Amino acid sequence: MYSNEVVLHWLSEVIELTEPKDIVYLDGSEEEYKRLIREAIESSELIELNQDKLPGCFYHRSNVNDVARSENLTFICTDKKEDAGPTNNWMNPKEAYKKLSKLFKGSMRGRTMYVIPYLLGPKDSPFTKVGFEVTDSIYVALSMRIMTKVGQIAIECLGNSKDFVRGLHSKGDLDPNKRFICHFPNDTTIWSIGSDYGGNALLSKKCFSLRIASFIGKKEGWLAEHMMILGIENPQGDRKYIAAAFPSSCGKTNLAMLNLPEIFKKRGYKVWTVGDDIAWLRIGDDGRLWAVNPENGFFGVAPGTSMKSNPNAFKMIQKDTIFTNVALKKDLTVWWEGIGTDAPDDILDWKGDVFSKDSNTKAAHPNSRFTTPAKGCPIISDEWQNPNGVPISAILFGGRRAKLCPIVFEAFDFNHGVFMGATMASETTAAATGTVGTLRRDPMAMLPFCGYNMADYFSHWIDMGKKMSNPPKIYNVNWFRTDENGNYIWPGFGENFRIIKWILDRCHGDVSAIETKIGYVPSSSDVEFTGLSIDENIGKIIVDEDVLINKKVIEKFKELISIDENSWREEILSQDDFFNKFESLPLEIQEERLNLKNRLRIKELSKV
């Protein structure tokens, strides 16, 4: 089988612990894929969908208590609690191994163990890392084949090295009381038990690509971020790349596969997807920041995805996709809220029950997902597997802020941008268990994903800035501002390109901006509004391709860039609550806090 002694030794330990009935070593071949799919259908883990309408697509229903990441059961296990920091759950590593060993003992009895060697990142690239996941879930095994590069390619890349992430996963009995997702950064080890949900069980994803990778990145001098990567090509054929961090379920996937407004298509602009969720970033010899998407597939939220909202995603999920917890139609195709049609009759909801349209429930779970290969994306960039990555011109931070944040503002400099990222906040969504719609601080959209003390993470960002002679410009964006009636003012989705175009013009030094106390905002004369008008009933900006210039749109846009200083003063108090958790905030962040307070004349609070 494998010749790497360290791998063999580790495998013998986990086999002895979990006592599987038999073991399957994944090689990544087509033949293996067909066999696993057949087995998953036989054991009812997957339902075969209508192969005429959705070729290569399958359906999975999870346990009803296992539908999102379990952040309260996720732990960083470092020797010292302060190394995990005040924003992570911490467990002593010895205690964690002991506690979880009891749960893993014999957990695979009567079950098959799948051993999955996988590669994160392009082949033959300095960015690339190897992981192993051992799991008793065929759903996980099949999903990992979509999300990573599985099999021989990883074995070859690893060779005799002991430098790989050791991931052990068992469904256990899916009891939330016996569910733990533990990370041991010093051992590059992940142990996850009791959940079969993507973010808890696909250990390549948040566990390795973000938590363990951010820890490694701090040591090795690079960044692992919760960011999508998008390429923008102008009519002359020049390409620029942006990376953007948003909390889960805030439109990262839509931005990553952005559908250009007609006016820009006509002018010859194009966009290219590089990644939808995770970016690994290194400083290049040229002093710029370069990024790769370490993953191989997209694990996106289904509800709200339609031919209108995200045609590229919608096209890509018509084949070779696993759907989880969406609704099932009689003809063995799928449906979800926001797919663009009314709920058909006779559908089964995500729990498998007949769906009643009159009930107050949703047919698809709000965090139902599609797992689909990146190469199926109609606009996947031909650079997405470039071993050198792509150079990043701008970083966008964002979230859902119904009020407060203007649609876009630019940092005064890199450190101010890091501060902007550190003070990100968003109204919560269904991607994690817990209340939906309350405001939570989520620095760089990494709150649940940073594998070490977040104060040290801020320092690492500041240090990275110091090492770059040509750092990216940093922006905060907010597509979700609402009016006094709670309606979104901005149409969002592809129309966000209008803001991205301004950002790129700023990066080239082509346009000026208005200086405010929180950063630079666009002058409305520098944003393209052709093709937009106003819905007179609700006063919202809407797409109307025939319109050339609509003065009311320009007026409305002023609302979107307006800054209410009193609300910002309140915001600063809430930022203080968050920052006061940390004992060792970098000086540069403290300076930025003070500067902002001074700009807003909050003298009495300036005691940081």
- Catalytic (active-site) positions: 250
According to DSSP, the residues that pair with 395 across neighbouring strands are: 243, 474
Partner from Mn ion, ligand SAT, none binding residue 329, C-beta < 5-8 Å depending on class: none
Determine the Cα–Cα distance for residues 192 and 400; give it in Å rounded to an integer. Answer: 30
Q: Which is nearer to Mn ion, 88 or 170 (CB)?
A: 88
Partner from ligand SAT, Mn ion, none binding residue 198, C-beta < 5-8 Å depending on class: ligand SAT
Q: Which is nearer to ligand SAT, 119 or 431 (CB)?
A: 431
- Specify whether the CB–CB gap between 253 and 300 falls below 8 A: yes
Question: Does the footprint of ligand SAT cover residue 198 (CB under 6 A)?
Answer: yes
Please tell me the number of Cα atoms within 13 Å of 1 on its side-chain side: 14
Helix (H) or strand (E) holding 225: strand 223-225
Please tell me the number of Cα atoms within 13 Å of 53 on its side-chain side: 10
Q: Which is nearer to ligand SAT, 224 or 407 (CB)?
A: 224
29-37, 269-277, 316-324, 589-597 -> range binding Mn ion (CB under 5 A): 269-277
SS3 167: strand
- Specify whether the CB–CB gap between 196 and 212 falls below 8 A: no
Output b/e per residue, 385-395; b: 16+ Cβ within 10 A.
beeebbbbbbb
Could you tell me how many residues of this chain bind ligand SAT (CB under 6 A)? 8
Partner from ligand SAT, Mn ion, none binding residue 183, C-beta < 5-8 Å depending on class: none
Partner from ligand SAT, Mn ion, none binding residue 69, C-beta < 5-8 Å depending on class: ligand SAT
- Specify whether the CB–CB gap between 206 and 295 falls below 8 A: no
| Positions 378 through 417 that interact with ligand SAT (CB under 6 A) | none
Closest distance to Mn ion from the beta carbon of 209 (Å)? 10
Q: Which is nearer to ligand SAT, 406 or 448 (CB)?
A: 448
Q: Which of 483, 480, 502 is nearest to 251 (CA)?
A: 480
Q: Which is nearer to ligand SAT, 445 or 527 (CB)?
A: 445
Q: Which is nearer to ligand SAT, 10 or 370 (CB)?
A: 370
- Residue 398 tokens read as 């964002």
| Parallel, antiparallel or unpaired: strands 279-283 and 327-328 | unpaired
Question: Does the footprint of Mn ion cover residue 277 (CB under 5 A)?
Answer: yes
Closest distance to ligand SAT from the beta carbon of 248 (Å)? 3
Closest distance to ligand SAT from the beta carbon of 365 (Å)? 12
Please tell me the number of Cα atoms within 13 Å of 218 on its side-chain side: 19
40-48, 197-205, 330-338, 591-599 -> range binding ligand SAT (CB under 6 A): 197-205
CB atoms within 10 A of CB 192: 30
Partner from ligand SAT, Mn ion, none binding residue 205, C-beta < 5-8 Å depending on class: ligand SAT
- Specify whether the CB–CB gap between 116 and 14 falls below 8 A: no
Q: Which is nearer to ligand SAT, 248 or 325 (CB)?
A: 248
110-118, 276-284, 488-496, 554-562 -> range binding Mn ion (CB under 5 A): 276-284
Closest distance to ligand SAT from the beta carbon of 193 (Å)? 17
Closest distance to ligand SAT from the beta carbon of 299 (Å)? 5
Q: Which is nearer to ligand SAT, 149 or 206 (CB)?
A: 206
According to DSSP, the residues that pair with 335 across neighbouring strands are: 327
Determine the Cα–Cα distance for residues 18 and 20; give it in Å rounded to an integer. Answer: 6
Q: Any residues with CB less than 8 A from the CB of 541 and at least 6 apart, and which?
A: 489, 490, 491, 495, 532, 533, 534, 535, 553, 556, 557
Contact characters 235-254, ligand SAT, x per CB under 6 A: -------------x------
Q: Which is nearer to Mn ion, 150 or 446 (CB)?
A: 446
92-100, 123-131, 199-207, 500-508 -> range binding ligand SAT (CB under 6 A): 199-207
Helix (H) or strand (E) holding 566: helix 565-579
Helix (H) or strand (E) holding 98: helix 93-104
Q: Which of 60, 69, 498, 501 binds ligand SAT (CB under 6 A)?
A: 69
Q: Which of 433, 339, 438 is nearest to 64 (CA)?
A: 433
Side chain identity, residue 566 = N
Q: Which of 70, 248, 253, 496 binds Mn ion (CB under 5 A)?
A: 248
Closest distance to Mn ion from the beta carbon of 248 (Å)? 5
1-9, 198-206, 499-507, 589-597 -> range binding ligand SAT (CB under 6 A): 198-206
Contact characters 343-362, ligand SAT, x per CB under 6 A: --------------------
Q: Which is nearer to ligand SAT, 274 or 585 (CB)?
A: 274
- Residue 239 tokens read as 């390409």
Closest distance to Mn ion from the beta carbon of 277 (Å)? 4
Q: Which is nearer to Mn ion, 299 or 452 (CB)?
A: 299
Closest distance to ligand SAT from the beta carbon of 377 (Å)? 17
Contact characters 460-499, ligand SAT, x per CB under 6 A: ----------------------------------------
Q: Which of 548, 162, 582, 227 is nearest to 390 (CA)?
A: 227
Question: Does the footprint of ligand SAT cover residue 199 (CB under 6 A)?
Answer: yes
Q: Any residues with CB less than 8 A from the CB of 389 and at least 6 apart, and which?
A: 125, 127, 280, 281, 282, 284, 290, 291, 292
CB atoms within 10 A of CB 529: 21
Q: Any residues with CB less than 8 A from the CB of 394 and at least 6 apart, and which?
A: 240, 242, 243, 472, 473, 474, 475, 503, 504, 506, 507
Closest distance to ligand SAT from the beta carbon of 199 (Å)? 3
Q: Which residue is nearest to ligand SAT (CB)?
A: 199
According to DSSP, the residues that pair with 410 across neighbouring strands are: 475, 520
Q: Which of 422, 431, 447, 589 binds ligand SAT (CB under 6 A)?
A: 431
Q: Which of 299, 350, 384, 579 binds ligand SAT (CB under 6 A)?
A: 299
Closest distance to ligand SAT from the beta carbon of 92 (Å)? 25
Q: Which of 61, 179, 205, 473 binds ligand SAT (CB under 6 A)?
A: 205
Distance, CA of 216 to chain centre = 19
Binding site for Mn ion (CB under 5 A): 248, 277
Binding site for ligand SAT (CB under 6 A): 69, 198-199, 205-206, 248, 299, 431
